[in-house]
Copies of this chain bind each other. A is one copy, B any other.
Amino acid sequence: MPNSFGKIFNITTWGESHGTGIGVVIDGCPPNLLISVEEIQAELDRRRPGQSDIVTQRKETDKVEIISGLYEGRTTGTPIAMMVANADQRSSAYDEIAEKFRPSHADYTYENKFGLRDPRGGGRSSARETVGRVAAGAIAKKLLTISGAIEIRAYLTQVHDITMPLLERFPTLSEVESNPVRCPDPETAERMIERIKAVRAEGDSVGGVIECRIRGLHAGLGEPVFDRLEADLAKAMLSLPATKGFEVGSGFSGTTMKGSDHNDPFIMKNGKVRTTSNFSGGVQGGISNGEEIVFRTAFKPTATISQSQKTVTVKGEETELAAKGRHDPCVVPRAVPIVEAMAALVIVDHWMRHAAQNRSFKL
């Protein structure tokens, strides 16, 4: 089931960029959760194009409809189907995709794998597929909010070679949302915006890094051996379009440390086992240890650029291609709510798995 994610809180996304619509089914959602279409819409609005002048100006209203699984405002425990109709179906703007493989896109691999593909707007390979993830993630987030003070916060720490100073504290949502690049450091945000505008002027694109933190999570989530919490987070992040890397806690830079510096010493604090540092990133042996979960995801520069590039046609002739129309010079800011959604889906799934194994029976 390549279009499904999660073992107990399971989602299946479906839909193409320029088909009738795009959607998701959640199977396994707990019953009795009070959730409104507005709460889901709010998350979708964060990923929508056209939010600021540095992202694509395509008009996608992306109004979500809940088709099943709710009754009188509450989840019933049955599948929750949600759908967003595709308003912007102007296929003509994308005709060239049918003829030429866009470099570093999925055109060639889909065609090769399946023998055919829906070329309209990239079809299934379009980042528009993440609409369903964000809608499902909104419900997962609500579950975590209700179960305690569990908060998930993602934000940009890097655009191209511009990096944010180390952030000690957990940023507020309004800090993140205060600027269009979703970087909680205003000064860095300003420089990021300038850079994005500059590359757009060149008809080029840039990538960046999103950091995500989860706080309030109790110890014990995550499974030995294969379904480690960080392994499932890594899979979740690498399943997002344009991602090239994942790291948790100290990550790649931790490889340059010695064990005596990298190990997180245990202490007692308010009667609880805590660590004085957090190079582990909140997971040890694949299981949350009660500290903040911290991970980062690398996004490559957007593949779609206005500059002319070498490529080949579906018939195997060498040619050139330059994207027309409106494109994001940097998709990373819009990926922030998607990262949060995927993180929420992983946490809720592991929460339920943990409960199943450890709280079903009184032993």
Contact = CB atoms under 8 A, between A and B. Distances in A.
B15 A254 contact: no
A114 B146 contact: no
A113 B245 contact: no
Interface string A101-127: 101111011101111111010011100
Interface in A254-280: 254-260, 262-268, 271, 273, 275-276, 279-280
Given A252-B298, A258-B205, A265-B311, A146 B361 contact: yes
Contacts of A226: 2-5, 235, 239
A312 B234 contact: no
Given A78-B123, A234-B234, A10 B14 contact: no
Interface in A7-62: 7-8, 10, 12-16, 19-23, 25, 27-34
Interface string A305-322: 101011110001110000
B110 A224 contact: yes
Given A10-B1, A244-B281, A363-B30, A263 B228 contact: no
Interface string A197-231: 00100101111110000000001111111111011
Contacts of A147: 361-362
A176 interface: no
A33 B79 CA distance: 28
Interface string A228-257: 101111111111010111111111101111
Contacts of A227: 2, 239
A81 interface: yes
Interface stretch (A68-76, A166-174, A185-193, A333-341): A68-76
Contact of A15 (B12, B81, B251): B81
Given A79-B14, A264-B104, A355 B360 contact: yes
B219 A158 contact: no
Interface residues of A, number: 163
14 contacts: A1-B27, A2-B225, A3-B224, A3-B226, A21-B67, A31-B116, A68-B124, A105-B285, A108-B284, A109-B219, A113-B220, A115-B358, A125-B224, A129-B225
Contact of A104 (B13, B109, B262): B262
A221 B3 CA distance: 15
Contacts of A76: 114, 116-118, 123-124
Q: Max chain B CB contacts within 10 Å: which of A20, A33, A81, A161?
A: A81
B363 A289 contact: no
Contacts of A357: 8, 28-31, 77, 352
Contacts of A184: none
A286 B112 CA distance: 13
A245 B244 contact: no
A63 interface: no
A250 B232 CA distance: 22
B16 A68 contact: yes
A359 interface: yes
A155 interface: no
A353 B356 contact: yes
Contacts of A353: 2, 8, 356
A19 B68 contact: yes
B118 A71 contact: yes
Given A1-B4, A15-B68, A244-B247, A224 B362 contact: no
Contact of A260 (B16, B120, B129, B307): B307
